A and B are shown apart, each in its own frame.
Chain A
């Protein structure tokens, strides 16, 4: 996928002025938050499950080599194959080879964020395959030639009118020429169009929410049923996933499932949770006859040994972005790559490089809501701060910002001097701005005063008032 993260600031500015996007975002936000809250309020065990979920993932990560090898041997036992890919390019190459060997023409896909991460569609299309996204949200953005803007609701930025226009434009070729208006009509038309694709596909590619070492199973969690038609109807089923998705047993996965659905959509269980283990058995009437699992690293083994290790616990529920005031204002596309919101601001710099993504860790007020709602208790604000430290240490910041920080740090480390200067400064500002009560322009604060006035300080500094009240 094209990397647009370096243009975060420009993209965020455009997003804030995009009225259709703002309408779509405001519709989505409340729904996710309210549904999650209702679901966890109905489950007194939720906190205990969070602690357990975290412990399960920690245990698995400490023994990741063991569980991956066990998973692999179980897949092989059931007639499947496991392919290991260090990089995105290698993963794409492996899938191209499997698809060529299968003489595939049409490839159906279930939603896979790892697929987006490795730019799988682009690779397959460049090789001449017809690729059809079958998750309704993914299908909509494939028609629009756009990347997903949310990890579980990829088309959350699209309004019904925009979707209606897209279908009207692209479904004419199937003889479906009527312009549709209502949600049921739109969903039904997509069902009709995609049903024929499901039946003609030679290869089906899905992602995985979990991998089970105990049984060699891959697990997908969906609501539409598209993932199941993708992994059942074609002759070849490929699972594109990454190494941190493995958990030891079916019981461990069950604990994580209780956290995932509630945190993502407020569901106790999604409509379809499917465990796939190997190939069609002898005598069975349907199911894939080839089963491939591609395990991607792409930087994850490095994270395992550094300060971003906790991020490998992420189960991709999307709760952090649903509760993020920045994501809620600018939407997913502003972040410029696959993973948006707080989890994306941690992951993206690790995957595409901190230099290209250095604005993302700053696109946070560090308010901490993401960590509060994270089912895996990932310390997202701490990691965003770590990225900022790394950007400073790696000399990635603009020179002016570095100097400003250095000067500020000099005084911040000397509290007496800092307080003295602060009281002088607000005295002057209070005097100068006192008449109007605010400033239209201030030197060195042009970015702030461009869009709003800067209030003039009133009275003394907080520290001075604190001292005065304490002694009174």
Chain B
């Protein structure tokens, strides 16, 4: 007998039953097809306000632009403020923005030497100040290798709770990676002292559009 059969058999034996009946299975199938919505923490009705408050609480920063076409200019201003080179790696969807010659951009997966990446979020969560990024939309390494990660979030993308993000995701194929990112990389492994930038980005900045 394979270990698979052995484990499944032992589970049934311990539960004191045989294989589930067709009727029992259909109840479980129905639960999977319509995932139950459990208790959710209360969220401020002003989702943008709660989202930005939580972002700051977890050590991320944010800025606003009125529309997409202003993103490259906002970006240049940020890089200058942080005294970083005007070079970024971006995901392919941002290529259509009105880029100027002042900033160099590359469209690819991240490399170790990259300092700044810019990616577009799939959604954001007001409850916790979280951004959700999909590997089907932008290379996952952009979220982790560079020291500064800038995420583009449209105001309309901010959901109250994570369950709404799952509902939106169920409308499409599940990507290889869903990254829920809440603040920059951190560790408390040395004497419980929080230190930002353990292995991932030291800085997380959200540009809110709209």
Contact = CB atoms under 8 A, between A and B. Distances in A.
Given A78-B176, A187-B198, 18 more contacts: A63-B20, A65-B12, A65-B20, A68-B11, A78-B174, A153-B192, A187-B195, A195-B112, A223-B198, A228-B179, A248-B35, A250-B163, A250-B166, A251-B163, A284-B176, A287-B177, A295-B7, A303-B14
A306 to B, nearest CB: 8
A302 B14 contact: yes
Residue of B3, B28, B128, B163 with most partner-chain A CB within 10 A: B3
A301 B38 contact: no
B140 A232 contact: yes
Residue of B10, B20, B25, B110 with most partner-chain A CB within 10 A: B10
A255 B39 contact: yes
Contacts of B58: 269, 271
Residue of A70, A277, A303 with most partner-chain B CB within 10 A: A277
Given A136-B187, A255-B39, A271 B20 contact: no
Contacts of B2: 84
A267 B59 CA distance: 12
24 contacts: A49-B38, A49-B39, A66-B28, A140-B189, A140-B190, A153-B192, A184-B195, A187-B197, A226-B198, A232-B177, A248-B32, A250-B166, A251-B166, A254-B38, A258-B41, A271-B181, A271-B200, A272-B181, A272-B185, A277-B177, A286-B110, A287-B135, A301-B10, A305-B15
A269 B40 CA distance: 14
Contacts of A255: 38-39
A286 B189 contact: no
B52 interface: no
B108 interface: yes
Interface residues of B, number: 77
A278 B174 CA distance: 9
B150 to A, nearest CB: 16
B16 A305 contact: yes
Interface in A142-198: 153-156, 159-160, 163, 183-184, 186-188, 190-191, 194-195, 198
Interface in B94-128: 108-110, 112, 127-128
Residue of A135, A268, A303 with most partner-chain B CB within 10 A: A268
Interface in A89-106: 90
Contacts of B11: 64-65, 68, 243, 301, 304
A135 B8 contact: no
A195 B147 CA distance: 12
A85 B151 CA distance: 41
Given A183-B193, A223-B185, A252-B35, A66 B20 contact: yes
B67 interface: no
Given A45-B41, A135-B189, A228-B179, A65 B19 contact: yes
Chain B binding surface SS class: loop
A214 B34 CA distance: 10
B63 interface: no
A67 B24 CA distance: 13
Interface string B1-37: 0111011101111111001100011001001100111
Interface in A208-248: 213-217, 223-226, 228-229, 231-233, 243, 248
